[in-house]
Every structure is written in C-alpha cells, then in structure tokens.
Amino acid sequence: MARITLDHIRHAYGPNPQSDKDYALREVDHEWNDGGAYALLGPSGCGKTTLLNIISGLLQPSHGRILFDGKDVTNLATQARNIAQVFQFPVIYDTMTVYDNLAFPLRNRGVAEPEVDRRVRDMLEVIDLAPMARRKAQGLTADQKQKISLGRGLVRNDVNAILFDEPLTVIDPHMKWVLRSQLKRLHKQFGFTMVYVTHDQTEALTFADKVVVMYEGEIVQIGTPTELFERPSHTFVGYFIGSPGMNVIPAKLDGNRVTVGAETLSLDYVPKAAAGAKTELGIRPEFIRIGREGMPVTINRVEDIGRQKIVRADFAGQPISIVVTEDAEIPAEARVTFDPTAINIYANSWRVGREG
Ligand code: ATP
C-alpha cells in the first residue's frame, strides 16, 4: 500500500482556463497516509470523481503531480499504477463463475494456484457468496454482482490503493450497512489505503478515518467525523455535515465580543478575522439550549423526529434550528443560550481561530 501525495493538482476539462471557475479542481495539495481510509464527500459536481480519476490515472491533471510513496506516477497509465478500482456499477465477467471472477486478477498476475484458491475462498466468505462460487455471474442480482466487484478489488494484496466510486449505489439499504461494516473490518485487518467517493455523509462518516470534504473544486476540510462536527473549517462543512446542519448567522466582531442582531455574546478569545471580512457565527442545533433564560427567540414550528425534536425558530432576524430531546419543555416565551465552547467564528466562510 502507498502514501499518496497530491502535489498542487489543478484540473480544467476545457482548453485555456482563465479563472478559478474554469477549473473542475482548483487546487489540491495534500498528502494521504499509507493505510488510511479516506472518504471523498461532497455534493454533485464538486470534483470528487475528477480527483479519483486523477489518482487512478484515467485522467491527467492540467497542473501538478501525483506521487505514490514519493514516486512520481503522473504520467503512468492506470495499469502501471497498480491500483484496484470498484465503480458504481459492477464490472465483472458475466460468463465466468463467481469463483473465477475473483481468481482472475490473481491469475492475471501469475499468483500460484494454491494461493489463488486460498485467497478466493477467504474472499467468498467475506462477501458472503461462498454457496454460489460455482454459479455463473450472469444469473446473479445487482447487489450480488457488486459484491463480486468489491471482492475483485479486495482480493489482491499487492495494490498501492483501492479506489471506490460510489460502490454501494446499487446495493439495498440493509446490505449497504453490512458491506460498509465489512469494508471497515477489512481495512482494520489488512491496512489498505482506501479512497472512497460518496455524496452520502452517513456512508462517509461510518467508513472513513478521515473524511475529505470537497466543495466547488476544492478540499475544504480533511478531518475525523468528530472534527467535522465540532470544528467545521468552512461554513459549507457545517451545513453539509449534520442533520440539520450548523446554524450560520451573520455576526459583527469587536475584540472578543460577537453581536448578532440586538444580542452580544462574549467569547473567551479574540477571533483572528481580517478587517472588512464577512463575519458569521456558527453553532450546531445540538448546542443551543431552550428555556426561560437567555436571548429571545420566536418559535415557528416543532418537528418530531422520534427521540428528538427539531425546533425551527427566528433568532435575531435569522432562521435557526435547535435540537432538543423529545421530553424537553418549550416555554411559550422561549429564550435560548448557546454553549460557548461550541461557537465557531467564520470570516469569508473560513473558520478563524484565536488571535496570536
Ligand atoms: P457527481 O457526484 O455528480 O459524480 P463529482 O463531485 O464527482 O459529481 P465531477 O464528476 O468530478 O464531480 O465533476 C466536477 C466538474 O467537472 C463538474 O462541473 C462537471 O460538470 C465537470 N466535468 C466532469 N467531467 C467532465 C468532462 N468529461 N468534461 C467536461 N466537464 C466535466
């Protein structure tokens, strides 16, 4: 397995790109650890597949280099990069048996037959298709075929990385959960470097150690699920991760004082925002308390979502969401307090930390 270095990668599909908006990838400059499980998460069109195809070699970046363990592979074709890929739809040989489909990538590389047999049998157990080993693939259901694709990706142990492009789209919801857990277990066991593209936050957060959030051709944060939840680097991450997403409220800064509408809060630090920047306060719905103390809000509606309720309200002229437990009392003259440790401050959409 390999460490993957994305060295100042930019990509434009059209000729003569002039400005940032002509680039499908604006600038990606990161190093991903050997053995890491990364999920590329973001909305449709943000550049996930473009980045994955640059890693796999299906696409040459317009600028920058890609390195596996320090070796420049930018100009190498997919086959020479020694990676396994699993796509949205199954890529298998319909006329071969399930067993032979799994054995194919190994036989192709000259692995000795007893070793092929051992690995294929192990993989058949993992993907739960052992009873069907001798069946031709063509009669199988879409999710059984996709399990073969996953198995073909995982059966080799000599790859630099395994790349997954929304591999569970055709799988039914229960099986999705099972396969995701199996992937996670296999990752722990074998330490593959995995890159997994998805637009589904649950899939990303349960699969990956590090989630790479993309927005408009840029990586806006790479973090653990907890970091993305507690300290979103960009307002987009706050909004995209969580359900409902983070409340982002226009705010004025003056030293450690933050003013939203007629309300002023004091922080225990001075946020480092450049003069003239658009400043906002971010607070997740889970960290707002409703009661009789604090700042006034107008409640518009309460949605029951099982063990919790989502309160939709207006605060300082802005719509906000608040998550409370199902038995929480919501007074008629409701007021709110924000957990001070859960407040994030943003300048031009990027989170700002302490001064100094
Ligand atoms: P999705 O989840 O819909 O697959 P994505 O995040 O994978 O989206 P990309 O497919 O990488 O996004 O697309 C990024 C941008 O590049 C989009 O604006 C898309 O329209 C554009 N794009 C993608 N492929 C091509 C292509 N072959 N030619 C021109 N533009 C393209």
Supply the CATH classification number for the domain 4-235: 3.40.50.300
Say how many Å lie between the CA of residue 202 and the centre of ligand 1.
22
Average pLDDT by stretches of 10, the chain with 356 residues: 93 93 94 93 94 95 96 93 89 95 94 97 91 95 89 87 89 81 82 90 88 95 94 96 95 94 90 91 96 94 93 94 93 92 95 74
53 CB within 6 A, ligand 1: no
Q: Supply 237's token pair.
A: 């991450």
Rounded distance, CA 188 to CA 180, Å?
13
Helices (H), the chain: 48-56, 78-81, 98-108, 113-126, 142-154, 173-190, 201-207, 225-230, 235-240
pLDDT of residue 356: 46
For the chain, the domains span: 4-235, 243-351
190 CB within 6 A, ligand 1: no
pTM exceeds 0.85? yes
Write the CB contacts of 120 (distance below 8 Å, at least 6 apart in sequence).
Answer: 99, 102, 103, 106, 133, 155
49 CB within 6 A, ligand 1: yes
pLDDT of residue 355: 55
46 CB within 6 A, ligand 1: yes
227 Cα distance to chain centroid: 12
* For residue 225, cis peptide bond before it (omega within 30 degrees of 0): no
Atom 30 (ligand 1) nearest CA: 13
45 CB within 6 A, ligand 1: yes
What's the CA angle centered on 341, arms 335 and 345, to 5 degrees?
Answer: 90
CATH 2.40.50.140 fits 243-351, yes or no: yes
Strand runs labelled E in 201-317: 210-215, 218-223, 247-250, 252-254, 257-260, 263-266, 279-283, 288-291, 295-296, 298-304, 308-315
197 Cα distance to chain centroid: 7
15 CB within 6 A, ligand 1: no
Say how many Å lie between the CA of residue 69 and the centre of ligand 1.
28
The number of beta carbons lying within 10 Å of the beta carbon of residue 21 is: 10
